[in-house]
Amino acid sequence: MSRWFPDEMPVPAANAETAGWWEAAAAHRLVVQRCEGCGTTRHPPGPVCPSCRSAAASWHAVPGTGTVYTYTVVHQAFIPALADRVPYVVAVVALDGAGGARLVSNVVEADVTEVRVGMPVEVVWEDMGPELALPRFRPRSARAAVAR
């Protein structure tokens, strides 16, 4: 099991709308919410579809691949536990098969100087606790993409 970030990172909070997303993540399933009325996907999850206002929704599993929409290399250790972990990459990933939904995450297992807008990435899961897992992303090589 890989660990890339320390336990001292901020822990997420869930409400009635988002709890299902976190439950799926704990099982290493990457999902986005999809409206049962019109099929529109949305992220983060919400109480009704912003397009048709239907409250009926389901969790739609996505392949876990995508591309870097934008990113930043963080150099400042905002918490002491990150002092020996900087620089790290925070990225917005445009998810494949998610109807345009994007996810904030990290690019790990990469030279921080090589991360670029448009870089293909794939999900890797980090178990932060018994019932908490976070999706991170690593560069997806051309060969790995073919093998898939």
Partner 1 sequence: MGGAVSGAGTGAFVVGVGETRYARWGGLAGTSEYQLAIEAILAAVADAGFAVDDVAGLSSFAEDRNDATFVAADLGLPELRYAGLSWLPGGGGACAAVANAAAAVGSGAAEVVVVYRSLCQGQFRRFGRGPGNGAAAGVRVPALRRARGLLDAHVAFTMPYGVFGPPVAYAMVLQRHMHRFGTTAEQMGHVAVTTRAHAARNPRAVMGGRPMTMEDYLGARLVAEPFRLFDCCLETDGACAVVVTNAARAADAATAPVAVLGSAQGAPRGFGHGQYANVGMPDDDYTSAGAGGVAARLWAAAGVGPADIDVAQIYDHFTGLVLLSLEDFGFCGRGDGGPFAASGALRWPDGALPTNTHGGSLSEAYVHGLNHVVEGVRQLRGESTCQVAGAETCLVTSAAGVPTSALVLGRP
Pairing of strands 65-74, 102-107: unpaired
Q: Which residues, 6 or more positions from 106, have their beta carbon under 8 angstroms from its beta carbon?
A: 4, 5, 88, 89, 90, 91, 136, 137
Rule CB under 8 A: choose which of 1, 75, 143, 146 binds partner 1: 75
Q: Which of residues 32-51 bind partner 1 (CB under 8 A)?
A: 42-44, 50
Considering only the stretches 57-65, 67-75, 140-148, report the one whose residues sit in contact with partner 1 under the rule CB under 8 A: 67-75
Number of residues in contact with partner 1, rule: CB under 8 A?
A: 49
Considering only the stretches 58-66, 83-91, 140-148, report the one whose residues sit in contact with partner 1 under the rule CB under 8 A: 83-91
List the end-to-end C-alpha distance of the chain, in Å, as a whole number. Answer: 21
Q: Tokens 């870089």 appear where?
A: 119
- Taking a C-beta distance cutoff of 8 angstroms, is the pair 137, 82 a contact? no
Q: Does residue 119 interact with partner 1 by CB under 8 A? A: no
Which residue's CB is nearer to partner 1, number 5 or number 59? Answer: 5
Give the C-alpha separation, 126 to 106, whole Å.
11
Rule CB under 8 A: choose which of 8, 36, 109, 114 binds partner 1: 8
Q: Does residue 138 interact with partner 1 by CB under 8 A? A: no
The DSSP code for 53 is -
Considering only the stretches 56-64, 70-78, 140-148, report the one whose residues sit in contact with partner 1 under the rule CB under 8 A: 70-78
